[in-house]
Amino acid sequence: MKMIWLLTSSSLLTLTFSLLLCSCMSQESNPFFSESETPFGVPPFDVIKERHYLPAFKEGMAQQQREIEVIVKNTGAPTFENIVEALAASGALLTKVRSVFYHMNSAHTNEQMQKIAEQVAPLLSRHEDDIRLNVELFRRIEAIHARRDSLGLTPEQGMLLEKYYKDFVRGGVQLDEDKKARLREINKELSLLTLKFGKNILKEDNAFELVIQNEEDLTGLPEAVVEAAAEAAAERGKKGKWVFTLHYPSMTPFLRYAENRELREKLFRAYVSRGSNPNKLNTKGLVAEIAALRLEKANLLGYKTYAEFALEENMAKDAAGVYKLLDEIWEPALRTARREAAELQALIQEEGQDFELQPWDWPFYAEKLRKARYDLDDRMLRPYFALESVRDGAFAVANKLYGITFEERTDVPVYQEDVRVFEVKEADGTHIGIFYTDYFPRASKRGGAWMGSCRKQSRQGGVEVTPVVHNVCNFSMPTADSPALLSLEEVRTLFHEFGHALHGLLSNTTYRRLSGSEVATDFVELPSQIMENWAVEPEVLRAYAKHYETGEVIPQELIDSIHNARYFNQGFASVEYLAACYLDMDWHTITAAEKLAVDEFEESCMRRIGLIPQIVVRYRSPYFRHVFSGGYSAGYYSYVWAEVLDTDAFQAFKETSLFDQTTARSFRDNILSTGGTEEPMTLYRRFRGTEPKVDALLKEKGFD
């Protein structure tokens, strides 16, 4: 301070100019601070570096705060335009940087990115609370909300107003100052704990490897799987050996085909022990703390449980509705699973074995039984499911339904060499958006499959913003001798995630806040799950499923086998999934958080629903990413809710024709393009004419 006072006015001018120059140079060197000159304005992944993120986050938050101040200080009467639309337009830079950063932190992360995430999380939490707890801003929104019926708003404008009003109320703006302070603390803690949970599980995924030295231990495995394991070993400096990991494309075929039961058990136990191991990556403490903080947050906001808080904005509305849905499916699913377990046990005994069926045996003997009963197994199908052919098959379905086309672009920057980019166009050539595909596992990518957007569609203020959407998966990789050949399950996953992508690409909304997949959690899976139906339709299979070596179309016998086996193992699949739904709901319907012991809690939940010992819940609490580091807390049931919707919705096509243009146009107009502009059930009824019932799903799964 003393040095500043001694500076002359000339020196001050020079210093000020220098600081401004440094600031401008810094901003010019940061790609987030200028409009991208890339094709279609996509993120310039080739020039974005880790050092750019934190300054861009800070500047984005500062810019939005200044924009909020302008809104609040507006001395004119509060209107929809100068308050609600202005709020919807704010934070453009912050939205840009966080969309890119969180995509990269999931799809291609590193230690530096994870450290940035830890730095940013509390800053974002504070920034978001500063907005939601801004009483002056809320008063203006509240004034508009109070006279909403007289404003002549469109349905979309009405929904935008309602969303923001609820954001503030559910964000705690009506709490007293002490409770607001505590809410801020909780939000900050949750932002860091959920981040740490995901980081720990990623490290657990990458830490384990099953190294095989004796070729005898590979007995039963398909040649392509063995080849991939050899390549994985060579990459890890273990040439001449074979390595299997906890990534699905490696683990799944091993559990299905490896005859060495002891090694199957070792790999399975490693998978279900993630987050439970006695090391610094153990997540049990995180689970208990997250659940307790969520309950406290809900209580602060006036709700008895966190589920009550979370479900208020979903189609299900309350926990009782969710449990009712789960119960309706659980009993018939469990009966079917018990019957399946007995059949597998009988097969074990027929082979002269005397052990009891265990979870690590189920995939192995189920695959054997499927082959014996339907003359069908994964090895027979994979040659017809080359990744690029399956992807092009999904593109062809979208073209026949909606007239859109996909043109590969090699002039668009990517963030990793395996990523491919496609320009999506209307039938008349009009640009729709950009679609990235990122299909193969790597240590820098979290497990699973997902869709996201680096830029959402919008046209607020008359400015057309086209979407930039990505699908990220972990599929079987190509080998030196063959392209990537997918399992039937992976084929379904590709179509599923592509359905999410269509939801983002075909969005036709005014506001970013309501665009694409910005819908209720238990509605977001409808566009994805309905696409899975086309994946195995005979007409579609014959179009894309061709042998990667000969070009032969998949034989009718295999198509028939796929159809005949559609009910096979449905008990297992449904029980495994539903058990995770119950676990999620139980964690979020607790009313007291003292002394939460994760193992005991989980065991109590599984005992209550009667889960049989031959099946392990799909996601145990310590690695339940959807719930403890994703956006599905008290919402994992959404997949089965969407199954009810998609089973009924697909019947609309079956009742006419698979590619009926009138039905397709209605689905696009009422579901895919509308985003969150109206209530989900209103949109669904407009498409289908009535509300769906669970009966169709039970029939589809073959449950009695």
The one-letter code for the residue type at 435 is F
pLDDT, tens digit, for every residue of 308-365? 999 999 999 999 999 999 999 999 999 999 999 999 999 999 999 999 999 999 999 9
- For position 13, what pLDDT does the model report? 36
Render the burial of 597-630: b for 16+ CB within 10 Å, e for the rest.
ebeebbeebbeebebbebbbbbbbbbbbbbbbbb
SS3 content of the chain, % helix, strand, coil (to 5): 60, 5, 35
Residue 424 has pLDDT above 80, yes or no: yes
pLDDT, tens digit, for every residue of 472-530? 999 999 999 899 999 999 999 999 999 999 999 999 999 999 999 999 999 999 999 99
Residue 497 is a catalytic residue:
yes
- List of residues 6+ apart from 139 with CB closer than 8 A: none
pLDDT, tens digit, for every residue of 144-187? 999 999 999 999 999 999 999 999 999 999 999 999 999 999 99
Q: What is the mean pLDDT of residues 421-429?
A: 98
Look at residues 213, 263, 260 and name the one whose alpha carbon lies nearest to residue 238: 213
**Host H or E run for residue 438:** strand 431-438
Look at residues 328, 30, 302 and name the one whose alpha carbon lies nearest to residue 170: 302
**To the nearest 10°, the Cα dihedral for 295, 296, 301, 306?**
-10
Q: How far apart are CA 658 and CA 540, in angstroms?
A: 9
Q: Which two tokens stand for residue 624?
A: 């339940």
Question: How deeply is 244 buried, as exposed, middle or buried, from its count of CB atoms within 10 A (0-12, 13-18, 19+)?
Answer: buried
- For position 15, what pLDDT does the model report? 37
pLDDT, tens digit, for every residue of 267-314? 999 999 999 999 999 999 999 999 999 999 999 999 999 999 999 999
Instruction: State the residue for tokens 């969303």.
Output: 163
The one-letter code for the residue type at 363 is P
User: Which bin fits 696, alpha (ψ -120 to 50), beta or left (φ > 0)?
Assistant: alpha
Tell me the β-bridge partners of 243.
211
Which candidate in 59, 308, 490, 497 is catalytic? 497
- Percent of the chain at pLDDT above 70? 96
Q: How far apart are CA 506 and CA 624, in angstroms?
A: 31
Q: In the chain, what is the greatest distance between 2 CA atoms, to the nearest angstrom?
A: 97
Q: How far apart are CA 213 and CA 238, in angstroms?
A: 10
CATH number of 383-564+638-701: 1.10.1370.40
Q: How far is CA 326 from CA 307, 315, 609, in A?
A: 15, 15, 10
- For position 210, what pLDDT does the model report? 98
CB 508 within 8 A of CB 432: no
DSSP letter assigned to residue 3 = H
pLDDT band per the 50, 70, 90 thresholds, residue 595: confident
Q: How far apart are CA 186 and CA 295, in angstroms?
A: 10
- For position 497, what pLDDT does the model report? 98
- List of residues 6+ apart from 469 with CB closer than 8 A: 433, 434, 435, 436, 451, 452, 453, 454, 501, 504, 505, 516
Alpha-carbon Rg of the chain, whole angstroms? 27
Q: Is 676 helix (H, G, I), strand (E, B) or coil?
A: coil
- For position 28, what pLDDT does the model report? 55
Render the burial of 355-392: b for 16+ CB within 10 Å, e for the rest.
eebebbbbbbbbbbbbbeebebbbbebbbbbbbebbbe
Sign, CA torsion 428/430/687/461: negative
- For position 20, what pLDDT does the model report? 41
pLDDT band per the 50, 70, 90 thresholds, residue 596: confident
pLDDT band per the 50, 70, 90 thresholds, residue 215: very high
- Percent of the chain at pLDDT above 90? 92
Cα 56 to the center of its chain, rounded Å: 25
CB 451 within 8 A of CB 97: no
Strand 210-212 and strand 431-438: pairing? unpaired
CB 121 within 8 A of CB 195: yes
Strand 405-408 and strand 242-244: pairing? unpaired
pLDDT, tens digit, for every residue of 33-75? 999 899 999 999 999 999 999 999 999 999 999 999 999 999 9
**Host H or E run for residue 698:** helix 695-701
Q: What is the mean pLDDT of residues 414-424?
A: 98
**To the nearest 10°, the Cα dihedral for 634, 637, 641, 642?**
100
pLDDT, tens digit, for every residue of 432-458? 999 999 999 999 999 999 999 999 999
Measured between alpha carbons, how far apart are the two ends of the chain, in Å? 81
pLDDT band per the 50, 70, 90 thresholds, residue 700: confident
Per-residue DSSP letters for 478-538? Answer: P-SSS--B--HHHHHHHHHHHHHHHHHHT---S-GGGSTT-S-TTTTTHHHHHHHHHHT-H
Q: What is the mean pLDDT of the chain?
A: 94
Phi, psi for residue 39 in degrees, rounded to 5: -55, 130
Residue 9 has pLDDT above 80, yes or no: no
Q: Which two tokens stand for residue 288?
A: 């208990």
CATH 1.20.1050.40 intervals, the chain: 39-132+134-170
Q: Write down the pTM of the prediction.
A: 0.94
The one-letter code for the residue type at 701 is K
Superfamily for domain range 39-132+134-170: Endopeptidase. Chain P; domain 1 (1.20.1050.40)
The full length of the chain comes to 704
Sign, CA torsion 413/416/420/421: negative
